Homo-oligomer: A and B are copies of this chain.
């Protein structure tokens, strides 16, 4: 176990904070609930951003930028929206040395301001679909902050689209949920359960909210991203209308969808272990670190030269590689330094390795002596590329296996209440409850209905709480 890192089995919460501190991912800011994203943490977010941005553009979206400050009156135009967000708002009352006539809200999300602009920009069916996205900061006052997972200010992207028909908008809602699922699966090596949120848990102002839910390594759930079908709710509030091909005015149908910096928290909690962070190669700012090991000066020169040569070869193949040539630090110190930071593959080169024409490899996902193996110098860049791909696959497989092993089918609420405390995980149940039932479950067990999975169990069964016959299954779990 790494120094300064609490065992995750002992105290998962403290383990999480320890990993963030030791890997220098973030730091707390002077304003309560805010965080500073440190360079190493930010570079993980940058890799996420680059990949997601490419996916958004491939599906026809353009980036734009809408203002941070929103007139308070805008927030009030959509009734559910203002009710949902009011308690979390930060308000600018003074600016330019005087009191403002109308207070301004620091955006908690941008549906209102974007609809205000859409109503100017959208005139006819020829302007549709309008497919926009923005990368931005938002502020939601947070009483129980937790780095990356819940912060007063966070970074995110918010997609906002307008369509001529409900069908088109619903198709878009599901398309973006799929983009998120694919990203999580292929890039973050995190399996997800796509599903629909209950009425109680949906976004304030939406008709339906869809979510992807993942399991953290303590068995809790984390909502990784949401995609909302907004119907015509905001269009009605902001008069976002278009002329159809018969020259009749129609309300647009809308979607919005977002993922946030909490995804960094998900990566920490799905993959991390007692040694610290463990990054899937596709999200690793440093995919391979080379540690030259030599005591004598003449050996140092040869070893360092070899390290730099193979690093050069790897860079040519697009591998993010770093030679740790820092002076005055022991190999052991360096091993730990990169292990805590979750670098997927460590290569060690000493004089004997050089002589024998190989390097020693230590994959992060198999720590300790047992995981080590040698790689021939000959064709090493290609070999490393394959090893990184294998590590990515192994990490996904292991996350799937873990989730499956912690997914339980229960028939009754009593059974659920008995199992949950000692077996946190995903509980698959037949479900026919309402908002009040959800509140009861939450009050009694702290668990929530995470989603109604898109993939439903065939047939019907008895609701685990109400006893009513139902064809619907739900996932229930403790969640962040």
| Interfacial residues, chain A to chain B (CB-CB below 8 A) | 27, 29-31, 34-39, 42-43, 45-46, 62-71, 74, 86-97, 103-104, 106, 113, 116-117, 120-121, 132, 136-137, 139, 141, 143, 152-153, 155
Contact = CB atoms under 8 A, between A and B. Distances in A.
Nearest to A98: B141
B30 A74 contact: yes
A155 B116 contact: no
Given A96-B87, A143-B96, A66 B29 contact: yes
Closest 4 CB pairs of A and B: A96-B141, A39-B62, A37-B65, A90-B95
25 contacts: A27-B117, A27-B120, A29-B66, A29-B117, A30-B74, A31-B67, A31-B70, A36-B64, A36-B65, A36-B66, A37-B64, A39-B132, A43-B63, A67-B153, A68-B137, A69-B139, A86-B97, A89-B95, A90-B96, A90-B104, A91-B95, A92-B93, A92-B106, A96-B143, A106-B106
A116 B34 CA distance: 14
A308 to B, nearest CB: 18
B69 A90 contact: yes
A13 to B, nearest CB: 23
Contacts of A89: 95-97
Copy number in the complex reads 2
Contacts of A97: 86-87, 89, 141
Contacts of A36: 64-67, 117
Given A30-B71, A86-B97, A93-B94, 4 more contacts: A36-B117, A43-B62, A91-B92, A91-B95
Contacts of A35: 67
B64 A42 contact: yes
A250 to B, nearest CB: 21
Contact of A153 (B69, B141, B143): B69
Contacts of A39: 62-64, 132
Given A62-B42, A63-B42, A117-B36, A94 B86 contact: no
A150 to B, nearest CB: 13
Contacts of A120: 27
A77 to B, nearest CB: 12
B106 A155 contact: no
A63, A93, A95 — which one has the most chain B CB atoms within 10 A of its CB?
A95
Nearest to A120: B27
Nearest to A38: B64
Contacts of A88: 96
Contact of A91 (B38, B68, B94, B153): B94
A253 B69 CA distance: 35
